[in-house]
Amino acid sequence: MRLYVILLILMGTLFGVALMIGPAGIAPLDSLRALIFGGDGPMTLVMREIRLPRALLALMIGAALGMSGAAMQGYLRNPLADPGLIGVSGSAALGAVIAIQTGIAATTTLALPVSALVGALVGVVLVLMLAGPRGGSLTLILAGIAISALAGALTSLVLNLSPNPFAANDIVFWMMGSLADRSMTHVWLVLPLIVVGLGMLALMRRGLDALTLGEDAAQAMGINLAQLRLLLVLGTACVVGASTAVAGAIGFIGLVVPHMLRGWVGARPGRLLWASALGGAVMLLAADIAVRVILPMRDLKLGVVTALVGAPLFLHLIYRTRRGL
C-alpha cells in the first residue's frame, strides 16, 4: 500500500513538472493558470493543446508499457520479457506504418491504432509460439531478436518505398519513440484501447501469482491457462498497439520497471501489475522530462533515454540468468 502511495505521489509530481517544462519557457505559475483557467492568449493553447496531451500520453503509455512488461514476465516467468525488446512494439510500429503508407489510416480515425494493434498481436503471438509456454531465456531472446529485426526491416522497407520524402526520416521515430507535438486527438485515440488493455492485463493477477508454481500446479488450482494466455495476448496487443501508434516503439520500460519494483511487492507477479503500471508512468514521464531538459529545442527520442537506463540493466539481467541460457 505504501508503495502505491509513493508511486502515486511521484507520478503526480512528475506530471506537474512535465506540464511546466518546455522550450517555450513559460513561468510555472503562469502555465498552470493558463492550463486551468484558460484565456485567449497563446499560452492557453500551448498548455492545453501541446503540453497537457504530451504529459497525459506519457502517463498512459508509460502505464501501458509497464504493466504489459510485468504481465509478460509473469506469464513467461522470465524477467527478460519486455514488449519493446521482444519485438511486439516493433511489430506494432510496422502495423502503424503500413496503415499510414497504404492510406488506410486516413480513411477512419481508428484505423491507425487498430492496425498497430494487429501488428502487436502478430508479434506477441509469434513470440509466444517461438519461446514456448515456459519462455526459456535463450529462446525468448532469440525469438525477440528475430521478430524485432524482421519488423524493423519491413518498417524501413515500407518507409523507403513511400513517395513521401520525409517517410524515411520517420524510421528513427518508429524505432525510438517520441511524444513531441502529439495532440489531444491522440489522447482520445489511445485512451479507450489502453483502458481496455490495462483492464484485461489486470485480470491476470491471480493467474500470474499461481503460475509461480508452474503451469501444471496453476491449472490444478483452477487457473484457466488458455484464458490467461488470451488475456495476455489481447491485453498486450491493445496497450502496445495503441501506445506505439502514437508514440513509436519505446523500449525497456517494461523491463526496467517490473525489475525495480519486484522487491517492493514481495516478488508477487500479480501485485507487480498495477505497481508496474504506476512505475511505468513515472519512468516515461521522467524520460520525457529528461529529453526536454537535455535538448530542449530538438526532438531527442525517448528510446535514447530509456535505453541508456535499460540496456545496462538488461545486460545485468542476462549476466544473472546466464545459467538459464
What is the size of the binding site for another protein (CB under 8 A)? 57
28, 38, 42, 312: residue in contact with another protein (rule CB under 8 A)? 42
160 binds another protein (CB under 8 A): no
Applying CB under 8 A, which part among 113-121, 144-152, 203-211, 231-239 lies near another protein?
Answer: 203-211
Q: Is 230 in the site for another protein (CB under 8 A)?
A: no
Q: In angstroms, what is the minimal distance from the CB of 283 to another protein?
A: 21
Q: Is the Cβ of residue 206 or residue 313 nearer to another protein in the bound state?
A: 206
Give the nearest distance from C-beta 161 to another protein in angstroms. Answer: 9
Q: Taking CB under 8 A as the rule, does residue 142 contact another protein?
A: no
Are 272 and 261 within 8 A, CB to CB? yes
Report residue 212 as a C-alpha cell. Answer: 509461480
Length of the chain: 325
How many Cβ atoms are within 10 Å of 180's Cβ, its own excluded? 16
**Candidate list 8, 9, 27, 45; residue touching another protein; CB under 8 A:** 45
Residues with Cβ within 8 Å of residue 284, at least 6 apart in sequence:
58, 59, 61, 62, 65, 250, 253, 302, 306
Q: Whose Cβ is closer to another protein: residue 10's or residue 167's?
A: 167
164 binds another protein (CB under 8 A): yes
Minimum separation from the CB atom of position 116 to another protein (A): 13
Closer to another protein by Cβ: residue 187 or 287: 187
214 contributes a contact to another protein by CB under 8 A: yes
Out of 90, 170, 243, 289, the only residue in the binding site for another protein (CB under 8 A) is 170
Binder to another protein among 24, 27, 138, 230 (CB under 8 A)? Answer: 24
Q: Does 189 bind another protein (CB under 8 A)?
A: no
269 part of the interface to another protein, by CB under 8 A = yes
Among 130, 142, 146, 167, binds another protein (CB under 8 A): 167
Contact between 107 and another protein by CB under 8 A: the answer reads no
* Closest-CA residue to 128 (of 145, 148, 146, 143): 143
Residues near another protein (CB under 8 A) are: 22-24, 26, 42-43, 45-46, 49-51, 77, 100-101, 103, 105-106, 162-167, 169-170, 173-174, 180-181, 183-185, 206, 209-214, 216-217, 219-224, 248, 262, 266-269, 296-299
